[in-house]
Chain A
């Protein structure tokens, strides 16, 4: 085991996950590649969604990959940051909207 949990070089080994379970790995990559093809959404729009989700998932590999992918597709710094804010807003909104549960509970217990 290396000294740190994350190694940037491991990103390149992503494709090797099929080594331990070929069929599921191959199915996953087939699905993954189909998702990112140009469809009703452009490849550029998909890169931005991926970038935002990469941040909410806090996956360093995905942040690395989709920052580069976004740059390659001509996405600007402002667009990238706005996408991350969208992710962050949903993440914080999702936490805050749960406070209604807390409020309900408080009101029930205290009347």
Chain B
């Protein structure tokens, strides 16, 4: 088990554990005094007067904020102390809605979704719904955290799940600094066990992708350059294979926002994001084709808005009142954290967007 240094903001009773405080913080200071434009105004100037979704493609379900890790930059503020996890009843509501939603991709996230006691039941049921791409976001270390998880690679294979895993770097030093001591070794073991059952192997249709996010207050470099470096290093040093690397920009919320403020990087980072604003990336930000569901069944434009408790606009706010028509006509709720999705090559759970 990886050694944990950090506690969640919630456990530390940090002010930023309160989503309302975060939203306020992101609208004050440099954004209030006019030094930087509000996101809403910025997109308006690129022609987005109405910010509405395109047809729904991805249904992303957060099975809970419990996690075996406590990464320094986690946007979920996840950790072992977080008890918010989805019940079987809410999972049943999700199953009912998957077909109605018409989404071709189902994306399970957390926390560590595998820690939900009904995870396996839910995956088996959901895999019968006939979606084209069924993603589980696994932090890798969970696979080696306890004997009861050792067979997860086989389980994923059995349900033809597409595994997407976070891997901040190909060296131990950088990985452990960001995600906790011991995380690198466990992640390597987990990747090997996924490769062993066929995941990530060249020409294998068992998809294994990695997610990279920068280790500090800077943007990711070019996604395909990073992918080349990761592939070379992981194969040469450990004989590990994977398919694609997705480079994600850190959004200024939750523990990453806490880090930015505490390290006096907040203003510079926000300025970099605003200066790197790319109107082309707005077209494909993930809220435009995704719906995010929280552990308690509420609907959000994306996982980030979920963490800020910005529920979707309109009448259909919960799985119980799911109404695709009304959801398709909603206005997407934006704030200054959205600059993280539109900077540079754009960023989403599927990597760059341009």
Contact = CB atoms under 8 A, between A and B. Distances in A.
Nearest to B215: A71
Nearest to B222: A43
A71 B169 contact: no
Interface stretch (B69-77, B140-148, B170-178): B170-178
B173 A72 contact: no
Given A38-B225, A43-B225, A72 B218 contact: yes
A74 B221 contact: yes
B229 A76 contact: no
A74 B169 contact: yes
Interface string A58-99: 000000000011011110111000000000000000000000
Main secondary structure, interface of A, reads helix
Contacts of A77: 173
A20 to B, nearest CB: 24
B219 interface: yes
B214 A72 contact: yes
B88 to A, nearest CB: 41
Contacts of B170: 74
Nearest to A77: B173
A69 B272 CA distance: 13
B225 A78 contact: no
A55 interface: no
Contacts of A38: 225
Interface string B149-176: 0000000000000000000011101100
B174 A76 contact: yes
Contacts of A71: 214-216, 218
Interface string B14-46: 000000000000000000000000000000000
Contacts of A42: 225
A74 B226 contact: yes
B111 interface: no
A44 B229 contact: yes
A38 B226 CA distance: 13
A74 B218 contact: no
Contacts of B180: none
A68 B173 contact: no
B171 to A, nearest CB: 6
Nearest to B228: A42
Nearest to B216: A71
A77 B226 CA distance: 17
Contacts of B229: 44, 73-74
B220 interface: yes
Interface in B197-226: 214-216, 218-222, 225-226
- The list of the 9 closest CB pairs from A to B, nearest first, reads A72-B221, A73-B221, A71-B218, A72-B218, A68-B218, A76-B171, A74-B229, A76-B174, A76-B173
Given A71-B216, A72-B220, 10 more contacts: A42-B225, A43-B222, A44-B229, A69-B221, A71-B214, A72-B221, A73-B229, A74-B169, A74-B229, A76-B174
Interface of B: 169-171, 173-174, 214-216, 218-222, 225-226, 229-230
